Chain A
Amino acid sequence: MNDRPDQELRRLVRSISNASLSRRAAFGGLAAVAAAGVLSACGSPAQGGKTAAPAPTDLSDVDKIVNWSNWPLYMDEADDGSYPTLQAFTKQTGIKVNYNTDYNDNEEFFAKVQPLLAAGQDTGRDLWVSTDWMVARLISLGYIQPLNKDNIPNAGNLQPSLQDVSYDPGRVYSLPWQGIFAGIGYNLARTGGRKVTSMDQLLHDKQLKGKVVLLSEMRDTVGLMLMEQGKRLDNFTADDFAAALTVIQDAKDAGQLRGFSGNNYADDLDKGVVAASVVWAGDVAQMAVGNKNLGVTLPDTGFTLSYDNLVIPAMAQHKTNAEKLINYYYNPEVMAQVTGWVNYLSPVAGVKDVLLKSSDPDVVAVAKSQLVFPDDATMARAQKFRALTSEEDLSFTRQYQALVTG
């Protein structure tokens, strides 16, 4: 494959230097030169590099809407499919929210908006919810705008432990929406009645052979593996990372794995197609209400904690409206309604107290759940994947993908 165009070039050079240039060869040669010119004109410029994101004129006052892209099942929902807190926001401020659950996967969503952002165009969205590492990428590419905290006085309700994150010191660009524990989920009907409590068991238990799913989200799957090997997620090295991958690779080669999955592992676990899986704890906690065979372990060696964060993309047309919306949800009374429904970790202080006051026993149960309001002992075992440099990010992602698609 390698030498073909080279030969083409050499032949071209020869034919040009040749006096008896046939008409056909000349046309062929011209075409080849033109093709080479076209080919090399197709490069793409470097992106961002800490340049300030372009901000268009804000249409917030004229155009009372805000376009929000969020993950599915990440909002309190009434039986008729409407969103009570969003409706209350519209009633309170007159701002209409176009709420879309079209954020299914960080990579997929990035691929969708990246060409627009790279071209400096509006994505049609004023607000979306990206996971920590994606926020880091968006910031370094200059794809999101700093938040105007004057419009978000409730940002003071942010849990103190979340004020400073490595990728966004002082929370200039982002505010957390929900926090997520990744642990190990299992379906007792398919595990022979045994709980799955460690990555070692998940990857080597013969009973589970061919019925194990790992998350395609690298930081969760490899994070759990690293911690089981006694590494800390805030200071592991490239070698540690490679060592963790080796264990997963061996399990894969041995036929232990059914596959790698994004959002859709939950259904398979529920149905019993999958016996055990690396899971987002909140999902399984929600499903366990209806399926008593389901359980989730937060391994003793540690489990990952990550946050999905509200960010405002470059060129967003309704930035102020988006900030008002963030401010609205940073009221503990409002966030409590969301937390009571989605069962993830609330970044807003004071939510637990609101939930405890509820008359609904289910809501009080949520307030007492270790998965939603973990105590200090649980929190001590949770670790955050360290921020990666862009080189590390590409390198680790590629190593992991080579494993996923191998």
Chain B
Amino acid sequence: MAFALPGARPRKSAKRRRGLFVPAILLLPALIWLVFFFVVPTIALASQSLQTGSIYQGFQFTWAFSNYTEALSTYWSQMVRSFIYAASATVFTLAIGFPLAWFIAHRSGRFKNIVLVLVVAPFFTNFLIRTLAWQTILVDGGFVANVMKATGITGFLNWIGLVPNDSLLGSPFAVICGLIYNFLPFMVLPLYTSVERIDQRYLDAAADLYSNGWNTFWKVIWPLSLPGVVAGTLLTFIPAVGDYINAKILGNANTTMVGKVIESEFLVNLNYPIAAALSFVLMIIIIVMVSAYVRAAGTEELV
């Protein structure tokens, strides 16, 4: 990912030539890590995605590009669904996370550190258990379900198709809720680091120039927090696309996401080539989308 980090400007000086050895040594662990846990598996996966055969006859490398067309034609709907769920979850985490990050950065005063710890606190519990907890939260006849039914929200969600029956559990709504909840900290923390650096005097200046609240936000705060927004949305969107625990625990039979498909192709169908092809397609789509997004956001100029 090519968004520049603050302070990472290239130095001009040619004076410090002799220092090459130490950086190389320091980089080595990361390089070894990358080679063994990214480059090699990626090559193996690429190879696997072009093989044919079965576990009984063995797999041979045959340039079988048909694996890709088969994978896409069979599972395009789960793929599209994953992107829609992840995108909705990202938009909502941003909408919830931005005010929260602003509050922590500029309004929480001496409680700042405590609030920051609270944002991270859910990580002290296992991901699976956090998601299972949402089963209890949304369970039929529970407080949330009753309130939402009484206020007509359930009816509305049912009308727009996010809740297929009268129960909140086992619905796209529940899956997206789970995604929002589980990825919120990944949105809040980068946003916080960006928002925190915004100088209060810019806002004062905007007010002095008769800017109203909306204009101040849109013309001053938003552009200055873009690096955080980009980082946060990427950290939320990318893992959310591949996530399948939320869909499995909170969804129904029609909310399967692509991660689950890949898992079942690998483990149940033993159809390694299709699983590898699906993983590759997912990776490529994400890379393309992310590069387009980062380019459009143009964060390099902002930092």
Are A397 and B43 touching (Cβ within 8 A)? no
Contact between chains at B269 and A394 (CB < 8 Å)? yes
Which residues of chain B come closer than 8 Å to A111, judged between CB atoms? Answer: 266-267
Interface residue from B58, B61, B69 paired with A39 (Cβ < 8 Å): B61
CB <8 Å contact, B268 and A401: yes
User: Is the C-beta of B78 less than 8 angstroms from some C-beta in chain A?
Assistant: yes
Q: A44 and B164: CB pair below 8 A? A: no
- The verdict on A252 contacting B254 (CB below 8 Å), with A46-B58, A398-B269 known, is yes
A interface footprint on B42-67 (CB within 8 Å = 1, 0 otherwise): 01101110110111111111010100
Best-surrounded residue of A38, A39, A110 (most CB of chain B within 10 A): A39
Complex: how many Å from CA A211 to CA B271?
Answer: 31
**Closest Cβ–Cβ distance, residue A167 to chain B (whole Å):** 14
Given the complex, which residues of B lie within 8 Å of A108, measured CB to CB?
267
A124-140 CB mask vs B (1 if < 8 Å, else 0) is: 00000000000000001
Q: How far is the CA of A271 from the CA of B140 in the complex (A)?
A: 11
**A372-406 vs B, Cβ < 8 Å mask (1 yes, 0 no):** 00000000000000000010001001100110111
Would you call the interface of chain B mostly helix, strand, loop, or mixed? Answer: mixed
Say which one of B90-98, B185-193, B256-264 lies at the interface with A.
Answer: B256-264
Q: How far is the CB of A120 from chain B (nearest CB, A)?
A: 15
* Cβ–Cβ contact B58 & A47, under 8 A: yes
Smallest Cβ distance from A22 to chain B, in angstroms?
26
A334 to chain B, nearest CB (A): 35
Say yes or no: B267 contacts A405, CB within 8 Å.
no
Contacts of A209 in B (CB 8 A): 165
A176 CB to nearest B CB, Å: 24
Given A1-B68, A209-B165, A46 contacting B256 (CB threshold 8 A): no
Contacts of A223-281 to chain B: CB distance below 8 A: 252-253, 255, 257-260, 271-273
In Å, the complex CA distance between A85 and B57 comes to 42
CA distance A45 to B58 in the complex (A): 5
Residues of B within 8 A of A48 (CB): 56
Measured between beta carbons, the chain B residues less than 8 angstroms from A19 are none
User: Is B281 close to A, CB under 8 A?
Assistant: yes
| A2 and B69 form a contact (CB under 8 A) | yes
Query: Taking A111-B267, A401-B269, A405-B261 as contacts, is the C-beta distance between A258 and B56 under 8 angstroms?
Result: no
Chain A neighbourhood of B59, CB < 8 A: 43-44
Bound form: Cα–Cα A260–B226 in Å: 42
Residue of B nearest to A112 (CB): B267
Q: Which residue of B has the minimal Cβ distance to A397?
A: B269
Contacts of B169 in A (CB 8 A): 273
- Let me know if A390 and B54 touch, CB within 8 A: yes
At the interface, yes or no: B270 with Cβ under 8 Å from chain A?
A: yes
Cβ of B65: which chain A residues have Cβ within 8 Å of it? 1-2, 5-6
Determine if B242 is an interface residue (Cβ-Cβ < 8 Å).
Answer: no
Would you call A257 and B252 a contact (CB within 8 A)? yes
Mark interface residues in A297-335 (1 if CB within 8 Å of B CB, else 0): 000000000000000000000000000000000000000
What is the bound-complex CA distance between A397 and B269, given in angstroms?
A: 6
CB distance from B256 to the nearest CB of A (A): 5
Question: Is there a chain A Cβ closer than 8 Å to B135's Cβ?
Answer: yes
Given A42-B44, A406-B256, A210 and B167 contact (CB-CB distance below 8 Å)? yes
B43 partner residues in chain A, CB cutoff 8 A = 35, 38-39, 42
Q: Is the CB of A402 within 8 A of B74?
A: yes
- Does B253 sit within 8 A of A, measured CB to CB? yes
**A361 touches B (CB below 8 Å):** no
- Tell whether, in the assembled complex, residue B51 and residue A43 are in contact, meaning their CB atoms are under 8 Å apart: yes
Contact of B139 with A by CB under 8 A: yes
Q: Is the beta-carbon distance between B58 and A44 smaller than 8 angstroms?
A: yes
The reply to whether the CB of A141 lies closer than 8 angstroms to some CB of chain B is: yes
Residue of A42, A49, A404 with highest tally of chain B CB at under 10 A = A42
Q: CB distance B170 to A140 under 8 Å?
A: no
Chain A contacts of B69 at CB under 8 A?
1-2
Task: Decide if B251 is an interface residue (CB 8 Å cutoff).
Answer: yes
Q: Mark B4-33, 1 if CB is under 8 A from A, else 0.
A: 000000000000000000000000000000
Bound-complex Cα distance A49 to B53 (A): 15
User: Do the beta carbons of A210 and B164 come within 8 Å of each other?
Assistant: yes
Tell whether A46 pairs with B56 under 8 Å between CB atoms, given A38-B47, A210-B170, A398-B269: yes
Chain A residues with CB under 8 Å of B75's CB are: 405
Checking A42, A44, A114, A259 against B251 with a beta-carbon cut-off of 8 angstroms, the contacting residue is A259
Q: How far is the CA of A46 from the CA of B78 in the complex (A)?
A: 32
> How many Å from the CB of B243 to the closest CB on chain A?
15
A332 → chain B, closest Cβ, in Å? 37
Task: Give Cα distance in the complex from A35 to B46, angstroms.
Answer: 10
Q: Which residues of B contact A17 (CB under 8 A)?
A: none
Per-residue interface assignment for chain A, residues 1 to 15, with 1 indicating a CB less than 8 Å from any chain B CB and 0 otherwise: 110011000000000
Say whether B264 contacts A404, CB under 8 Å: yes
Question: Which B residues touch A259, using CB under 8 A?
Answer: 170, 248, 251-253
Scoring A46, A48, A209 by chain B CB atoms within 10 A of each residue's CB, the highest score goes to: A46
Would B58 and A210 count as touching, CB distance under 8 A? no
Contact B56 A260 (CB under 8 A): no
0 or 1 for each of B269-298: is its CB under 8 Å from A? (1 = yes): 111000000000100100000000000000
Q: Tell me, in angstroms, the Cα distance from A38 to B42 when the chains sit together.
A: 11
CB of A63 within 8 Å of the partner chain: no
The residue in chain B whose Cβ has the minimal distance to the Cβ of A108 is B267
Bound: A210/B166 CA distance, A: 9
B43 CB to closest chain A CB, in angstroms? 6
- Bound state CA distance, A405 and B72, in angstroms? 14
Report yes or no: B260 in contact with A405, Cβ–Cβ below 8 A.
yes
- Judge whether A141 and B56 touch: CB under 8 Å: yes
Q: From B46, B165, B268, give the contact of A397 (CB < 8 A).
A: B268
Return 21 A-B CB contacts under 8 Å, by A number: A1-B65, A1-B69, A1-B284, A5-B63, A35-B43, A38-B43, A39-B46, A39-B50, A42-B47, A42-B48, A43-B61, A46-B56, A48-B56, A107-B267, A111-B266, A141-B55, A271-B139, A273-B139, A273-B169, A394-B270, A398-B271
Please give 12 more A-B residue pairs, beta carbons under 8 A apart, in addition to A41-B61, A211-B167. Answer: A1-B72, A40-B47, A42-B43, A43-B53, A43-B59, A209-B165, A210-B170, A258-B253, A259-B253, A273-B169, A394-B271, A397-B269
The 5 closest A-B pairs by CB, nearest first: A46-B58, A42-B47, A210-B165, A257-B253, A40-B61
